[in-house]
Structure 1
């Protein structure tokens, strides 16, 4: 963002707003759960969006703009406004839309407030479990008041790896081939269906690492901060077709996974 940061901003107040927003948007999602309306698609026939996504984002935008009218916005469902305060909110009103449509319960509201240095606060809220993960840069990460810490050290052959796949059929084929080559080198993989919850799973030690290509800023802004504040290392990576990706793991496992992905990429 080009504007100078708001030096008077209080991260605690940003976190409070993000927490209230995530829970309000979560209530909107639960009110519509099991009775989806306005279903359409975006990037492909397997990339859905519904009125639930749109109404959740509208709830967040109204709350943020009413309390911080000078802040910028970037939302998955179209919210886009330049910042004049140095703070921009990056929001995914429903991360895990397919899970939501199938009533699989693994979906979340993801909100991050960024300054010129990146994510300053992040909140990921699962409305079904009511678990709320959150972090402030340089302060740490927690879930419902309990501190989070990644698993470390974890040898690669004992690592549980979360991953995901894109919506484009050809890209998905390439991603599947890469994971097939990585699978014999790790304990197993998990496909949760929400990038935000995958990142929080790394932070909480429910999985050891997360790797996915094709993610967008709103998918990983909040969860990425939460994972890093829990001790994870994070890098942007794109071994397949230049798709923007992310790799997150505890420090010892991180280096092993980076090396493994490089070997797989270079082997073609």
Structure 2
């Protein structure tokens, strides 16, 4: 384990303990963001402040991109991409499927803001505080759940594939996505929607899902999970072979990914909302 991975792991565990403690004490909505269903809790903000403080103490020259506004420039060429509580609605309702997601990415020469289209992922850590599962990966060194090495599932035909997805916050976009999923459902084994993108990607890495796809994700939603899935052998791609981004992300065993991408294209998933 490198020093960077060890640090990210340590910070995630401390942040997860705080998130779990605040969940036990009771959670209230602090604000809404893009729509009424896009919520943020005081715990989101408190956990992100803790993560930022720990990063600045240990690596003051690194940049940070955080979901709740804790974003600072850096000079080291590395940036931390942080989602303090991924799956906030699950967290709000007491559903044990939420995560602390922390990635460390290398920025292109010249720096700039962290962008999934140009960064190089170095480290990914995703912790589910409710279950205690800790998923980690370092580029070129594989992916793990605790000490157990992760491997993407075996190739399957789409009619035997368990596929996970998620939906956007805007009502019109959700309607479009629902239509695509309705037409996809008869052609796969089944569909799951659990509401935490970082964990969905980790479940692909562990073979619990055969595939996962989604649109409108922010960088902090997929930065860590995408590396974990990739290091477990998944193909992680954006729309029509581009890098994963807000436009689209798909993760699956490579042959499953190719078949699902072609089917989603046929079903109109890549059309404008």
Q: Normalising by the residue count of structure 1, what TM-score does the alignment of the two structures yield? A: 0.92
**What CA distance in whole angstroms lies between the structure 1 residues aligned with 2:75 and 2:37?**
37
**What CA distance in whole angstroms lies between the structure 2 residues aligned with 1:216 and 1:114?**
15
Q: Match for residue 254 of structure 1? A: 257
Q: Do 1:216 and 1:244's aligned partners in 2 also have CA atoms closer than 8 Å?
A: no
**What CA distance in whole angstroms lies between the structure 1 residues aligned with 2:74 and 2:9?**
21
Structure 2, unmatched stretches of 5+, are 108-118
**What CA distance in whole angstroms lies between the structure 1 residues aligned with 2:19 and 2:269?**
43
**What CA distance in whole angstroms lies between the structure 2 residues aligned with 1:267 and 1:78?**
30
CA drift at 1:39 = 2.2
**What CA distance in whole angstroms lies between the structure 2 residues aligned with 1:155 and 1:12?**
38
CA drift at 1:36 = 1.2
Aligned-pair Cα RMSD in Å = 1.6
Q: Which of 80, 92, 104 is 1:89 aligned to?
A: 80
Q: Which of 151, 158, 169 is 1:156 aligned to?
A: 158
Q: Which digits, 9 at most, give the CA deviation of each residue in 1:187-230, with x for residues without a partner?
A: 00001110000000000011110011110100000000000000
CA drift at 1:243 = 5.6
CA drift at 1:267 = 10
Q: Give every structure 1 segment of 4 or more consecutive aligned residues whose post-TM-superposition deviation is greater than 2 Å.
A: none
- Check 1:39–1:231 CA distance in 2 against 1; reply closer, same or farther (3 A cut): same
1:226 and 2:216 correspond: no
Structure 1, unmatched stretches of 5+, are 1-10
1:184 and 2:200 correspond: no
Q: Which of 35, 57, 60 is 2:48 aligned to?
A: 57
- Check 1:243–1:38 CA distance in 2 against 1; reply closer, same or farther (3 A cut): closer
Q: Normalising by the residue count of structure 2, what TM-score does the alignment of the two structures yield? A: 0.90
CA drift at 1:237 = 2.3
**What CA distance in whole angstroms lies between the structure 1 residues aligned with 2:234 and 2:29?**
38
**What CA distance in whole angstroms lies between the structure 2 residues aligned with 1:267 and 1:257?**
12
Q: Match for residue 170 of structure 1? A: 172
**What CA distance in whole angstroms lies between the structure 2 residues aligned with 1:38 and 1:46?**
11
| SS at 1:80 equivalent | coil
- 1:1-268 aligned within 5 A: 12-34=2-24, 35-37=26-28, 39-116=30-107, 117-237=119-239, 244-265=247-268
**What CA distance in whole angstroms lies between the structure 2 residues aligned with 1:28 and 1:233?**
33
